[in-house]
Amino acid sequence: MAIKIGVLAKQVIDPEMPMAAFRIDESSKKVVPPNIPPVVNGFDENAVEAALLIKDAQEATVTVISTGTEFALDVMKKPLSMGADELVLLQDDIFENTIDSFLTAQLLVAAIRKLGGFDLIICGRQASDWDNAQVPLGVAELLGMASISLGKKVDVIGGKVRVERIIPDGYEVVEASLPSLVTVSNELGQPRYPTLRGIMAATRKKPTIWSSADLDLDSSQSSSRITLRDLFVPVSDQDCEIIEGEDPADSGRLLALRLREDKVI
Amino acid sequence: MADGTGVLILGDTTGGELGSTTLELLAAGQKIASELGEQLSVALLGDTLDVPAQQAISHGAQKVYAVNHPLLAKFQIDFHLSALEALSKEVGPRIILVARTNEGRDLAPRLAFRLGVGLAQDCLEVSIDSDSKTLMANRPVYGGNAIAVVSCDQTPQIAAIRPKAYEPAEEDSSRTGEVVSFPVELNESLALTQVVDTVIEEAEGIKLEDARIVISGGRGLGGPEPFAHLEELAKLMGGTVGASRAAVDSGWVPSSYQVGLTGKTITPDLYIMVAISGASQHMAGCSGSKVIVAINKDAEANIFKEARYGVVGDWETVLPALTTALKELT
């Protein structure tokens, strides 16, 4: 039987944008979207890749689910052009305050249930906007399933998921019975590039778009868990002393002398 | 929001002693417990807790909940979650502090969701808003480009504190406190995951997190070979070598070398950054360094805004000259 894989992916402001372009609107406590297109969160592209690697080896379907207020369709179709089968977009103004992971996880769980559940859910370790690293583990907790985080290799063998997960001094191999949730990190490796055939297929595919009204939510659990009080850009007051010799080699020599002189070494 | 009372710290007892991150939580906890005028307690989970319990008290805990069970001897998330859920419901703390360690980064979100409350993740600083007795947490977001101040709307308010964000609490062996045993019922069937193998691949020598001198290389090195020059300099200075995410992603060094938001947090006395631009996500892991030295050929690189000393030049020229000069000095 085909393994049903769900991938949670988020559209984010391109984290590679020039730092000078990073600005915050103080009154709305929001990052001002830069004049460049958004991207699929990098770790979530790793999650798509992990799902497709499983699909390369055995029969599997890959459904990508995303939450947001507004989607750039050509951006969010990238996982489809890489080889995913379906795209489900949960589009609602409720996601304006995505720092509240509880709300996001609840809506994702409702959508996952409406889709009939998955054998394996794969997510990026964290999103490059709020760096919260909570939604995947929250989804696992709400669904009562095992979660294995920081995977760099994910295999499905005999009804179990087997994950090489990163630990500070190496990695450990962890197993769990399906259904389970796994988060992956950049160590998984470069996500594949979309093929021309993939891009053509993705163009023809229509995403399923649901709002919170389409989902079965427990209203008793809808109160907020986290409030954003302030958002600001930290100021660095560091004055850098540029050590300048006659040439770069001389600068290197003078640097050593200065570090000694200032008792840094 | 229903009121709880007191500050409860989740302690780390790996190796039979109170872990260093717990000492840091005790420093943060003492501050907010005294702002609240409430009790500071520590939860210890494991199978040999006498030594860490006394250490917790001498470092400022007024009460220790000793959750003793053979299945808690090693970290297994489902056992720990089950025990902590029972303890939290029984004790009813206002605030729970967790260290965002390898274990804490899994435990804290799952505990918050299990208790149906919010979590302030990866905090650099926590304080109490005196009117509402609400925990205010500063945390880096957008890869460290911005700081968000968040508060939790439900009780218990849970915060995961970044390791090394606080100095460890001071020891005072004259302190006294109460150790209370908290029995839990656990069985093997609770465990949803099994560790089947552990592979250690860290470089020999001083651990990156503990090193007083760290020399890191980045994308600008162009390949794995230049890391040999960094190793030579590190050996000479008694330091260790790290790397940027770009260097790890390129496969030049193992991921255990990575410094940054998704790598290791380091706080050395001297941090020498070679051919690293200084993106926020890297700085998020090294901003606690006492002195940063940047060597980069791009005079416009962000790192020159963060470093104390800088040399604008190609590492291939600067690094050998620096190494030779240091040899002459020693």
Q: Is the pLDDT of residue A97 over 90?
A: no
Pairing of strands A11-12, A39-40: antiparallel
Mean pLDDT of A149-166: 97
Residues of A in contact with B280 (CB under 8 A): 19
Strand partners for A7: A64, A122
Q: Is A142 on the interface with B (CB under 8 A)?
A: yes
Distance from CA of A118 to the nearest CA of B (A): 17
CB atoms B110 and A147 under 8 Å: yes
Mean pLDDT of A57-68: 97
Give kind and range of the element (H or E) at residue A107. helix A101-114
Expressed as residue numbers, the domain containing B42 is 7-190
CB atoms A125 and B146 under 8 Å: no
* Residue percentage of chain A with pLDDT more than 90: 83
CATH of the domain at B87: 3.40.50.620
CB atoms A251 and B318 under 8 Å: yes
Residues of B in contact with A169 (CB under 8 A): 200-202, 207, 256
Q: Is the pLDDT of residue A219 over 90?
A: no
Burial grade of B204 (CB within 10 A; 0-12, 13-18, 19 or more):
exposed
pLDDT value at residue B262: 86
C-alpha–C-alpha distance, residues A213 and A190, integer Å: 37
C-alpha–C-alpha distance, residues B69 and B204, integer Å: 35
Q: Residues A171-213: pLDDT tens digits?
A: 999 999 999 999 999 999 999 999 999 999 999 999 999 999 9
Based on the fold, state whether residues B44 and B153 are members of the same structural domain.
yes
Based on the fold, state whether residues B238 and B136 are members of the same structural domain.
no
Q: How many CB atoms lie within 10 A of CB A189?
A: 15
Strand partners for B241: B215
Q: Is B148 on the interface with A (CB under 8 A)?
A: yes
CB atoms A223 and B302 under 8 Å: no
Q: Residues A68-95: pLDDT tens digits?
A: 999 999 999 999 999 999 999 999 998 8
CB contact set of A96 (below 8 Å; sequence gap of 6+): A69
pLDDT value at residue A222: 80
Based on the fold, state whether residues B109 and B174 are members of the same structural domain.
yes
**Which residue in B has a C-alpha nearest to residue A188's C-alpha?**
B249
Based on the fold, state whether residues B62 and B164 are members of the same structural domain.
yes
CB atoms A232 and B249 under 8 Å: no
Mean pLDDT of A159-177: 95
Q: Which two tokens stand for residue B308?
A: 């104390």
Q: Is residue B35 part of a domain?
A: yes
Q: Is residue B202 part of a domain?
A: no
Q: Residues A17-60: pLDDT tens digits?
A: 877 889 999 888 999 988 899 999 999 999 999 999 999 999 99
- Give the ranges where chain B is alpha helix by DSSP (H): 20-36, 50-58, 77-91, 104-115, 227-237, 245-249, 280-283, 303-306, 315-329
State the Rg of chain A over Cα: 22
Does domain A3-221 sit in CATH 3.30.70.560? Answer: no
pLDDT value at residue B203: 66
B97 in helix, strand or coil? Answer: strand
Report in angstroms the alpha-carbon separations of B41 from B44, B54, B56, B77, B233.
10, 12, 9, 22, 45
Based on the fold, state whether residues B182 and B303 are members of the same structural domain.
no
Q: Is B250 on the interface with A (CB under 8 A)?
A: no
Q: Is residue B2 part of a domain?
A: no
Q: Which of B262, B287, B329 to mutate to test the interface with A (most CBs of A within 10 A)?
A: B262
* Residue percentage of chain A with pLDDT more than 70: 100
Q: Which two tokens stand for residue B202?
A: 């860290």
Q: Which of A229, A237, A257, A260 to mutate to test the interface with B (most CBs of B within 10 A)?
A: A229
| Contact by Cβ (8 Å): B182, B67 | yes
Q: What is the pLDDT along chain B (330 residues), one digit of tens a residue?
A: 567 999 999 999 988 999 999 999 999 999 999 999 999 999 999 999 999 999 999 999 999 999 999 999 999 999 999 999 999 999 999 999 999 999 999 999 999 999 999 999 999 999 999 899 999 999 999 988 899 999 999 999 999 999 999 999 999 999 999 999 999 999 999 999 999 999 987 666 788 999 999 999 999 999 999 999 999 999 999 999 999 999 999 999 998 999 998 889 999 999 999 999 998 889 989 988 999 999 999 999 999 999 999 999 999 999 999 999 999 987
pLDDT value at residue A169: 86
State the pLDDT confidence band at A236, using cuts at 50, 70 and 90.
confident
Answering whether pTM is above 0.90, one says yes
Q: Is residue B197 part of a domain?
A: no
Classify B222 in phi/psi space as left (phi over 0), alpha (psi -120 to 50) or beta: left
Based on the fold, state whether residues B170 and B241 are members of the same structural domain.
no
Per-domain residue ranges of chain A = 3-221, 239-265
